[in-house]
Amino acid sequence: MQEILLVLCAYCLGSIPTSVWVSRGFFGIDIRDYGSGNAGATNTFRTLGPRWGSFVMICDVLKGFLP
């Protein structure tokens, strides 16, 4: 039972769209409407700049590493 709960928590953590939250929260835009249309760190880097692109990339790496 504990393994199932851990897998569900890891899935929920990994499904958080960091780039969408950053773009909407700080810039009032949807990152998917700009650049390549992908909600990822590369598109965030290109659209919002290196500071926010790096922040999203670090958050995405931590989402994969922490669980």
Per-residue model confidence (pLDDT) at position 47: 94
Identify the domain containing residue 11 by its residue range. 2-65
| Contacts with 22 (C-beta within 8 Å, 6 or more apart), sequence order | 31, 44, 48, 52, 55, 56
Separation CA 47–CA 24 (nearest Å): 13
Separation CA 60–CA 37 (nearest Å): 18
pLDDT band at 67 (very low <50, low <70, confident <90, very high): confident
Question: How many domains does the chain fold into?
Answer: 1
Per-residue model confidence (pLDDT) at position 66: 84
| Residues 57 and 45: beta-carbon distance below 8 Å | yes
Q: pTM to 2 decimals?
A: 0.86
Question: pLDDT tens digit string along 15-65?
Answer: 999 999 999 999 999 999 999 999 999 999 999 999 999 999 999 999 988
CB-hemisphere CA count at 13 Å for 55? 14
Per-residue model confidence (pLDDT) at position 51: 96
